[in-house]
Structure 1
Amino acid sequence: MTQRNLGIYVHWPFCKAKCPYCDFNSHVRHHGVDPASFGDALADELSWFARQTPGRTVTSVFFGGGTPSLMPPAIVGQVIDTVADLWPMADDVEITLESNPTSAEAANFAGYRSAGVSRVSVGIQALNEADLKYLGRQHSVEEGLAAFQMAARIFPRTSFDLIYARPGQTPDRWESELRQALAEQAGHMSLYQLTIEPETAFFRLHEAGQLATPHEDHAAEMYEITRDLTSAAGLPAYEVSNHARTGHECRHNMLYWTYGEYAGVGPGAHSRLVADDGSRRALATEKHPETWLGSVSADRNGVVEDTVVAGEDAAHECLLMGMRTTQGVSLRRIERMSGRRLDRSQLDHLVADGLVCLMQDEDSIVATPAGRQVLNSVIEYIAVKTLR
């Protein structure tokens, strides 16, 4: 049987507080959480997924949330050991954990490293005290920088994560903040433009006219500042919001963006498993943590959705992911997935408008910097106008 690469995503759904911009599946439990019960359930669900994925080699494990840095290191180690027992692990497997930089969580870094974590993504989010408070963050700038510096000493790979285009932020202020962050980073930065997501506190404030984000021209200028400064510092964008020195790209997220195969465990996790015919099973687990826990106890999994994604739907998903990257997507791959031929004359319109370019082999299509500013429209045009 041919070995295939597999990523593992582990969702820890708990937070100390819900950030007002966050639409992730995260929950606050003032009465506390029993980590051991959730650790055992994650192990059980991993076992169920292992039975669905024979012949795979795990190339990456990613602990996301929620706030995974609220997990005791022993539970993180239990999950990593379970993965290693169930699948072959690549020699250079990347194991990432997302962390909030409060002092108490940063103190666990040494324990995470001993457990096998090789990469930490530190959610600094802002280098401005007022904005940190407005974003609902529970750390100060000083604590955030200290936590990142500790992470950089302990882990081989790190990410310095910020949010820009925040309410009241100007391009000049963002440039100053980004320059400060670039002096601290250690090879990778995730720099996200703030978006107002439905069912968040920020969305309700925005709808009520009580929150104003920067004008779209200013937001576009901040994007250009981000691209130019990171490139000049040797961390060019390899995806719309991610910048890295060569070799420091997040391998797990690259697996997502190149439409690879991954299994997601924990409340609200999603999976894409590849069938023998090339179609994909799209799975999702129960979002509510305690309900998920009960389902895993009864059935060894918390899966509530299991559907097939094939044909044009799979091609569209591949476009949505791959066009975010600087390597783009293979046109032949899109044609194979969709079962349709691409109308190259329609692609020529996007090329002429400076929104995409064809690579030298004329198989891969890549969004230009201008195209990334209107990426959703570019993807929709390709999906609707060029597939025939």
Structure 2
Amino acid sequence: MSLPPLSLYVHIPWCVRKCPYCDFNSHAAPEQLPEDAYVQALLDDLDSELPLIQRRPLQSIFIGGGTPSLFSAQAIGQILQGVAARIPFADDIEITLEANPGTFELARFEGFRNAGVNRLSIGVQSFNAEHLQRLGRIHNPVEALAAARAAVEIFPRVNLDLMHGLPEQTPAEAMDDLQQALEINPGHLSWYQLTIEPNTEFHARPPSLPLDEALWDIQEQGQALLEKTGYRQYEISAYARPGQQARHNLNYWQFGDYIGIGAGAHGKLSRYEGGQLIIERRHKLRQPKGYFDPALRLAGQEVITADELAFEFMLNALRLTDGVSAELFRERTGLSLEHIEPLLQQARQRGLLVEAPNRLAPTLQGRLFLNDLLELFLD
């Protein structure tokens, strides 16, 4: 009885300022970041998770936020050294750090690489000055280009985050953004439509977004351009050159396990009890001030019930263009495929799931209407 691969998510919750579309757990940075205290809190948090990991090595680490690149390279190095002292690393471990072009300094990027980061994910969002201003970003196009170009020179693996469907954006402007990103030649692109989330400034004061017809044009033109230039769509919003897929995110989508440390971080960990697979979700306190208190740090934990497992698995696996093997469902949930066979048949009859008994994968129609496909597994 084997357990899933294990990853680690590290959350650093501070930003220079909150963007109006952002619903992540991020907070305006104080004048002096509490680097030392937060690094120690992260490692203490990790210590509390160690009994649950079953001696598995880490396949990937993702340091997200917030804006993790606000932390010094020394602090990032201390985090990685502390983790390595507690959990063995896979030989080919992927270590990703999110960075904001507005915090770019060449020496800083070089410091992150020397600290052990081997993949940088840069939140560009747009190369258009007006759109960046509307999005509340602190960087300008020149800084975005400089940061992205430096990243591909320094890091062996680079992702650029780019949004489309921005306030008052035309299809031509969206394609210009995408073309500029492609000219930098990163190995990976996260290209996705802006969505208005609850509890954001944009939700309270909605901006003027492109009409559905324009959004469809952007999607069609963008996917054609990405395919033409060698970027394969392997997930709803993820495009990569061969061998450049985000291994950390693939572990999420394949229903692998991950430890979550840091303010607001979430984790999913599996274990066997009496031959029964138990899958538990754990989440940490969102407020940074309270997170420093060990007694408050763990905000909640709950076992995923058998009734919830099928939906939880499909919610992740069906984001993948190629889906997953049917056998993976049994391995990662402990349930037999017969548990959901009537729902699979219904999805196939509606043309949302491919007709392959050994594979769980959405059709093109299923990818376009993913919410409809997932709703079948909610019951």
Give TM-score scaled by structure 1 length. Answer: 0.91
Task: Answer yes or no: is 1:377 the counterpart of 2:351.
Answer: no
Query: Does the 8 Å contact 2:266/2:282 carry over to 1?
Result: yes
Structure 1 residue ranges without an equivalent (≥5): none
Q: Which amino acid aligns with 1:328?
A: G
Contact 1:3 1:55 in 2 (8 A): no
Quote how far apart the aligned CAs of 1:165 are: 0.7
Question: Within 2, Cα distance between the matches of 1:140 and 1:339?
Answer: 52
* Mapped pair 1:259 → 2:258: no
2:111 counterpart letter in structure 1: G
Q: In structure 2, what is the equivalent of residue 214 of structure 1?
A: 210
C-alpha displacement of 1:180: 2.2
Which segment drifts farther, 340-349 or 22-31?
340-349
**1:67–1:105 Cα change, 3 Å:** farther
- Residues 324-377 of structure 1 deviation map (CA, whole Å, 9 limit, x = unaligned): 012313445546645572565764554455433134xx2212123332222111
Counterpart for residue 357 of structure 1: 354
Q: Cα 1:58–1:346, aligned 2, differ >3 Å: closer, same or farther?
A: closer
Asked whether the equivalents of residues 4 and 55 of structure 1 are also in contact (C-alpha less than 8 Å), the reply is no
Q: CA RMSD in A?
A: 2.1
Q: 1:324 aligns with which of 319, 341, 348?
A: 319
Counterpart code for 2:237: S
The one-letter code matched in structure 2 to 1:29 is A
Alpha-carbon displacement from aligned partner over 1:257-295 (angstroms, at most 9, x marks no partner):
111000000000000000113221100000000100123
Letter in 2 for 1:91: D
Distance 1:285 1:369 in 2: 37
- Corresponding residue SS for 1:197: coil
Tell me, in whole angstroms, the C-alpha distance in 2 between the residues paired with 1:292 and 1:97: 21
* 8 Å CA contact retained: 1:62, 1:96: yes
Aligned counterparts of 2:259 and 2:340: Cα–Cα separation in 1:
34
- In structure 2, relative to structure 1, the CA distance for the partners of 1:149 and 1:357 (3 Å cut) is same
1:229 alignment partner, SS class: helix
Task: Please tell me the residue identity of whatever aligns with 2:313.
Answer: C
Determine the C-alpha separation between the residues in 1 that align with 2:105 and 2:362: 38
Task: Return the alpha-carbon distance in structure 1 between the equivalents of residues 117 and 184 of structure 2.
Answer: 21
Residue aligning to 2:36: 36
Q: Using the alignment, how far apart are the partners of 2:146 and 2:30 within structure 1?
A: 27
Amino acid at match of 2:72: P
Residue identity matched to 1:177: D
Change (3 A) 1:369 1:178: farther
Structure 2: distance between partners of 1:10 and 1:134: 29
One-letter amino acid of the structure 1 residue matched with residue 169 of structure 2: Q
Q: How many residues align?
A: 374
* Corresponding letter in the other structure for 1:269: A
In structure 1, what residue type is equivalent to 2:224?
D
Quote the residue 1:312 is aligned against: 307
Q: Identity of aligned pairs, percent? A: 37
Q: Report the equivalent of 2:268.
A: 272
CA shift for structure 1 position 107:
3.8
Tell me: CA distance 1:351–1:224, structure 2 relative to 1, closer, same or farther (3 Å). Answer: farther
1:302 is matched with 297
Query: d(CA) in 2 for partners of 1:304 and 1:169?
Result: 40
* C-alpha distance in 2 between matches for 1:92 and 1:23: 32
Q: Which residue number in structure 2 is paired with residue 180 of structure 1?
A: 180
CA contact (8 A) 2:282 2:302 kept: yes
- Local SS of the residue matching 1:175: helix
Aligned 8 A contact 1:101 1:122 in 2: yes
Q: Which residue of 1 aligns with 2:168?
A: 168
Cα 1:140–1:117 shift into 2, 3 Å: same
**Cα distance in 1 between the residues matched to 2:234 and 2:240:** 7
The 1:72–1:278 alpha-carbon spacing in structure 2 relative to 1, beyond 3 Å, is: same
Does structure 2 retain, via aligned residues, the 8 Å contact 1:21–1:135? Answer: yes
Hey, what does 1:88 align to over in structure 2? 88
Q: Which residue of structure 1 lines up, in the alignment, with residue 281 of structure 2?
A: 282
Q: Summarize the Cα distance change of 1:314–1:351 in structure 2 as closer, same or farther, 3 Å threshold.
A: closer
2:290 is matched with: 291
The answer on 1:231 being equivalent to 2:230 is no
